[in-house]
Amino acid sequence: MSDRPMVRLRGVGKGYGSAATRVEVLRGLDLDVNRGELLAVIGPSGVGKSTLLHLIGLLDRPEGGRLELDGDAVGELDGEARAGIRNRLIGFVFQHHHLLDELDARDNVALPLRIARWPARRARARADELLASVALTERASHFPDQLSGGEQQRVAVARALAASPRLLLADEPTGNLDYANAEQVFALIRALHLMVGLTSIIVTHNEAMARRCDRIFRLAPPGERSDYVRTI
Ligand SMILES: Nc1ncnc2c1ncn2[C@@H]1O[C@H](COP(=O)(O)OP(=O)(O)OP(=O)(O)O)[C@@H](O)[C@H]1O
Ligand SMILES: [Mg+2]
């Protein structure tokens, strides 16, 4: 059903370690992200923002509660099913670009498509289209160490979108960039979000950027209330 949220968490819990080293991070967390929404997630360092994105991105499992993506419960699925959903539905952008140093920009963007068994030529042609959409046509044959930080992040955005995900998860995608580059990368994510009709979640410490998202969700430590906020 199309009116169901793209992402729905109910009573989700997550911690790390056991006994004396146990850290409880998320407890009883509820969150809805509507289809087509651009949601900012804010909160202090260490509160669990990356943990939350890892759960939603099926890179890690909740310890309790219910997690639904696109209307389906996904918290209990096995590894293969989770990888399938991840590849089909989700694109990631991290704070550090995570590009492969030995591949040029084009092949970095094409990599998810090659993994999805696209023929090399088609994958490269699609990568070139994506590089054009992030204004990097001129840099397609450059390697990551030949690109500026902002350019690397734009390649990472293009790569995240390569397999046409419906959900984009970005963990401080502009955290390592100066003001002008951060602005460019954020504006690009927002423009592509609208153009492609994505649902997007962006973790950010940048309040001005958070305010330009559709809604802001403030994550709080266990025992305090996490909630949507109007002002920050
Ligand atoms: N693999 C792990 N093993 C043990 N503890 C972890 C692990 N990953 C995260 N933590 C702990 O969980 C808590 C939440 O971490 P997380 O990275 O989700 O925070 P964050 O809100 O993203 O912080 P930041 O804004 O600094 O990126 C922290 O106390 C962290 O030390
Ligand atoms: Mg983090």
DSSP string covering 134-166, please?
TT-GGGTT--GGGS-HHHHHHHHHHHHHTT--S
The answer, yes or no, to whether any atom of ligand 1 lies below 6 A from the CB of 44, is: no
Ligand 1 centroid–CA 170 distance in Å is 16
Residue ranges covered by each domain of the chain: 37-61+81-229
Nearest CA-CA partner of 14 in 60, 73, 83, 78:
60
Q: Provide the β-strand partners of residue 32.
A: 8
The answer, yes or no, to whether any atom of ligand 1 lies below 6 A from the CB of 21, is: no
Instruction: Say what percent of the chain tops pLDDT 90.
Output: 89
Q: How confident is the model at residue 2 (pLDDT cuts 50, 70, 90)?
A: low
For the stretch 39-67, pLDDT in tens is 999 999 999 999 999 999 999 999 999 99
- Stated pTM of the model: 0.95
Q: What is the mean pLDDT of residues 153-165?
A: 95
Question: What do you get for the CA distance between the two ends of the chain, in Å?
Answer: 33
- Helix ranges restricted to H, 7-104: 49-56, 79-89
- Helix ranges restricted to H, 47-148: 49-56, 79-89, 105-115, 120-133
The answer, yes or no, to whether any atom of ligand 1 lies below 6 A from the CB of 16, is: yes
Q: Of all atoms in ligand 1, which is nearest to the CA of residue 54?
A: 18
Q: Of the ranges 97-101, 126-130, 138-142, 203-207, which one carries the lowest mean pLDDT score? A: 97-101
Tokens of 22: 């146990």
CA torsion 29→204→150→143, rounded to 10°?
Answer: -20
162: pLDDT strictly greater than 60: yes
Output phi, psi for 106, to 5 deg.
-60, -45
Where b means 16+ CB within 10 Å and e means fewer, 200-215 reads: bbbbbebeebbebbeb
**CATH node for 37-61+81-229:** 3.40.50.300
All residues with CB under 5 Å from ion ligand 2: 49-50
Nearest CA-CA partner of 199 in 162, 151, 173, 161:
161
For the stretch 72-107, pLDDT in tens is 999 889 999 999 999 889 999 988 878 999 999 999
